[in-house]
Structure 1
Amino acid sequence: MQQDRLPDDTSLTTQGYADNGSHGRILLLACGALAREILDLKKRNGWDHMALTCLPAILHVHPERITQAVEEAVAKHRDQYDQVFVVYADCGTGGLLQQACERLGVEMVKGPHCYSFFEGNQTFADHGDDETTAFYLTDFLARQFDAFVWKPLGLDRHPQLRDMYFGNYTKLVYQAQTDDPDLTNRARECADRMGLAFERRLTGYGDLESTLSDWANRPFSD
């Protein structure tokens, strides 16, 4: 078992450690695309009573599988912890994940997807129709663009299909969780490959940080 170390392949499971305390033993059941950010927040805030288990990030290519995967993981782990929180937004499940979490009695992150909660759900919503032609990247997707965008769409084999996929977009918005020049360059290269204008927003962790802080500091009683 790996402790507080993010593997290169974030489809693997990462596990933190959990100590007993006034907040109980907490499990964060998260999307693998958020592992690096969650581990950073755990370390910076000393949330040693929170453990992390990640489901494969590649599930986002098949959002219809997310709900069942989360349900199975909650059932597998919940007896080992006092509280389980699901670090997913809706993520293309059409409300099914929210329904499952309510049925299981666990909380999840509010918002339609990570692009929204990284920027802040209210701020993202305030963009309204101005963002309907934006394609979003996070730090994770800037690192994993080929594996999670280019290759699943077959553009590594059929680059001539680029405009068919992205012709209705006008810009790529890179929501930067960290101020990393290398990742900014990678994101800009992604925009160039897609034939889109480039915009960078330093969002930090947005509502993800405030949500985890709330869960970490919530008193627990049997």
Structure 2
Amino acid sequence: MKALPDDRSLTETGLAPLGEGRVLLIACGALAHEILALKRLNGWAHLDLRCLPANLHLWPDRIPPAVEAAVAEHRADYDKIFVVYADCGTGGQLFDTCKRLGVEMVEGPHCYSFFEGNAAFAVKAEDEFRAFYLTDFLVRQFDAFVWRPMGLDRHPELRDMYFGNYTTLIYQAQTNDPALDAKAEDCAKRLGLVYLRRFTGYGDLAPALARQIP
């Protein structure tokens, strides 16, 4: 499956028509592959997916208003809306927005935490405060979301300024894909970091979606 374009949204509709018994997932585009995989795996035909551009993460303050606009656009068509974002650098603003709108969201500070499992990530965090994390999506989109936005394609000498305090790149693998593993290891080499791969699967995302019953 091709990576989700980062400059537009994606709408993925289930098998049944809109209306009674349907739940809309308003999600970060970086989670599209994982959500669609879980839908197929579990036969969750009552879940529809509306993804916002993954590159909103470059401007976290834009996430809450984008989510609010999507909720307003689709609320009348669904019995329930669930926001598939964690806090994602919004400083609690997304939580406040969702609370005001009366919609639920994924628990946790960011996707690295809920993919690991929020409880497990909290335990590891003290020992991994010098780790830089990648998910399947970020391995695929490393140049678009890390290398180029940081200017490392034009000024590689900035690498040590940005990453000098990191020691390890931890690839949180959602799938067992040798090609992604090799690419993640190459990302670590490019950043001058020790490489560690840890299979997390879908972590807390799977049970969060399983609970979305209208």
Per the TM superposition, whether the score is higher than 0.5 is yes
C-alpha distance in 2 between matches for 1:37 and 1:137:
14
Q: Which residue of 2 aligns with 1:36?
A: 33
| 8 Å CA contact retained: 1:16, 1:52 | yes
C-alpha distance in 2, partners of 1:110/1:8? 23
What TM-score, normalized to structure 2? 0.95
Number of matched residues? 213
In structure 1, the residue matched to 2:102 is 105
The match for 2:121 among 106, 121, 124 is 124
State how far apart, in whole Å, the 2-side matches of 1:109 and 1:8 are: 21
Residues 2-151 of structure 1: pairs in structure 2 closer than 5 A: 8-18=4-14, 19=16, 24-151=21-148
The structure in which a higher percent of residues are strand is: 2
Percent identity of equivalent pairs? 62
Report SS of the residue matched to 2:5: coil
**Could you tell me which amino acid in structure 2 is paired with residue 173 of structure 1?**
I
Shift of 1:128: 3.1
What SS does the aligned partner of 2:157 have? helix
Q: Distance in 2 between matches of 1:100 and 1:137?
A: 27
Structure 2, unmatched stretches of 5+, are none
Runs of 4+ in 1 over 3 A off after TM superposition: 5-8
CA RMSD of aligned residues (A): 1.7
CA distances 1:7-32 after superposition (whole Å, capped 9, x unpaired): 641543222224269x8111000000
Cα distance in structure 2, aligned partners of 1:214 and 1:115: 21
Q: TM-score, normalised by structure 1?
A: 0.92
Structure 1: runs of 5 or more not aligned: none
Contact 1:32 1:56 in 2 (8 A): yes
Residue 44 of structure 1: how far off its partner (Å): 1.0
